């Protein structure tokens, strides 16, 4: 697709134009990451990166598990050489034997307590490698105690909430993808709550702690409610019905300074059938943007919405399910796009840049836009091969994006209209 001159209504994002001293193209902020997913910003403006890990040595068939998932902190991401440190480690990860396509903590966020993080992942005691569903979704809390010892506790049992409430009315399964910590005051105290986008439950959970129940030996009790939920449209066996409407499948969360929450979904990975929905803090829908494909990350600034499309406009089919001539992408070209649209203008044009297999997005204080890239790959990447529909994929990394060569994209028509 040919590049086009980018014209936006309203102020241009700073990321749309590099200065004369900056080389064009993305800037590598951090590399050597294992399946990087959601990005968030902590109170100091540093980037919090959820790494889904690379699995481990306990294997059943093509699924291998181990404590390789982590949370990484990128301090001063706008600097030429940011400080990159692992702040949480030892979280359960499930991946292919080569460490690719990991299931694990897809989301992480910092609380307003220094050194404390919330992780959306799996409870090792609930995971059964021989069963793809019932993955044992959990919200974990990690941090460092006053004596310097680190802790990682399974804090909220999302699998149990799914078994009890099952908001989408479908198969019982919990696969949390993203987490958002919501602080209710301006003081540093553990009084906030968490939202967790659970793709398998088709629900955004709200987890509210009751710290009056906490003791020295036990974490506080909590209440889990369905903050937002979407009905199932799948077949009874849990597979997608190609003749029915696409499922929302929430994968991504972000918030603006006014407390509005933005939720992105996969839309059954069908071209043009994924959406981003804006809610107020109470979970009331305010706005909606349709026509995306396989949304895996969302971010906002004062005027724009940024959306990761994991495969770009057209998801690739698994090997053998479609003729090779019809299976995107072109050999050697790893798919993926980040799309930007002015969110305060109705029917605003959309522009995109090519970003390989993007997931989490975050915006900076000075207009920067960051993305986790090669988000289904371990640190060393994925070689080309018969089971890899993308060709050779680079290692997991975080980039600062450059939109100066963005091209206009049309919103795909719904499947019924094509």
Q: For the residues 13-30, what does the mean pLDDT come to?
A: 69
Mention every residue, 6+ apart, whose C-beta is less than 8 A from residue 390.
316, 329, 334, 335, 357, 382
The two structure tokens encoding residue 206: 């709200």
Using only the alpha carbons of the chain, give its radius of gyration: 20
Cβ atoms of 372 and 36 within 8 Å: the answer is yes
pLDDT at 169: 86
More confident residue, 396 or 220: 396
What are the tens digits of pLDDT across the range 148-168? 888 888 889 999 999 999 999
Mean pLDDT calculated for residue range 347-363: 95
User: What is residue 185's predicted lDDT score, i.e. its pLDDT?
Assistant: 66
Q: Cα(400)–Cα(339) distance, rounded to whole angstroms?
A: 14
Give the residue from 305, 276, 303 showing the smallest Cα distance to 291. 276
pLDDT of residue 210: 76
Domain boundaries, the chain: 14-232+245-417
pTM as predicted: 0.90
CATH 2.120.10.30 fits 14-232+245-417, yes or no: yes
pLDDT band with cut points at 50, 70 and 90 for residue 285: very high
Structure letter (DSSP) for residue 278: E
316 pLDDT band, cuts 50/70/90, is confident
Q: Alpha-carbon distance 80 to 308, whole Å?
A: 24
pLDDT bin (cut points 50, 70, 90) of residue 186 is low
pLDDT digit string, tens, across residues 368-384: 999 999 999 999 999 98
pLDDT, tens digit, 9 for 90 and up, residues 77-114:
999 999 999 999 999 999 999 999 999 999 999 998 88
Closest-CA residue to 311 (of 262, 269, 349): 269
């Amino acid at each position: 697709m040919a590049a086009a001159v980018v014209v936006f209504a309203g102020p241009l994002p700073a990321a749309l134009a590099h200065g004369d001293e900056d080389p064009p193209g993305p800037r590598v902020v951090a590399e050597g990451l294992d399946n990087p997913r959601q990005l968030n910003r902590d109170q100091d403006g540093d980037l919090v990166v959820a790494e889904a890990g690379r699995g481990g040595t306990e294997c059943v068939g093509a699924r291998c598990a181990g404590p390789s998932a982590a949370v990484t902190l990128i301090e001063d991401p706008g600097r030429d050489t940011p400080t990159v440190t692992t702040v949480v480690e030892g979280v359960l990860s499930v991946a292919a034997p080569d460490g690719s396509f990991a299931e694990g903590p897809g989301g992480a966020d910092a609380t307003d307590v220094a050194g404390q993080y919330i992780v959306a992942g799996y409870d090792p005691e609930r995971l059964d490698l021989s069963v793809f569903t019932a993955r044992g979704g959990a919200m974990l809390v990690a941090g460092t105690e006053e004596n310097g010892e680190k802790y990682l506790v399974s804090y909220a049992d999302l699998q149990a909430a799914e078994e009890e409430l099952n908001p989408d009315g479908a198969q019982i399964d919990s696969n949390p993808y993203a987490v958002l910590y919501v602080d209710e005051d301006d003081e540093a105290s553990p009084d906030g709550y968490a939202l967790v986008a659970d793709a398998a439950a088709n629900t955004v959970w709200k987890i509210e702690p009751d710290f009056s129940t906490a003791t020295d030996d036990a974490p506080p009790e909590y209440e889990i409610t369905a903050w937002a939920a979407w009905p199932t449209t799948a077949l009874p066996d849990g597979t997608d019905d190609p003749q029915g409407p696409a499922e929302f499948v929430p994968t991504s969360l972000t918030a603006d300074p006014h407390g509005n929450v933005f939720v992105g979904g996969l839309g059954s990975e069908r071209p043009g059938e994924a959406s981003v929905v804006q809610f107020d803090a109470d979970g009331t829908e305010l706005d909606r943007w349709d026509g995306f494909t396989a949304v895996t990350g969302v971010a906002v600034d004062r005027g724009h919405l940024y959306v990761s499309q994991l495969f770009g406009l057209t998801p690739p089919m698994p090997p053998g399910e479609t003729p090779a001539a019809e299976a995107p992408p072109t050999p050697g070209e790893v798919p993926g796009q980040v799309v930007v649209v002015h969110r305060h203008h109705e029917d605003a044009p959309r522009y995109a840049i090519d970003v390989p297999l993007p997931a989490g997005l975050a915006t900076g204080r000075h207009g920067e836009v960051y993305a986790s890239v090669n988000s289904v790959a371990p640190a060393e990447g994925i070689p080309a091969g018969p089971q890899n529909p993308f060709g050779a994929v680079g290692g997991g990394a975080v980039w600062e994006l450059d939109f100066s060569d963005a091209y206009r994209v049309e919103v795909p028509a719904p499947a019924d209209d094509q």
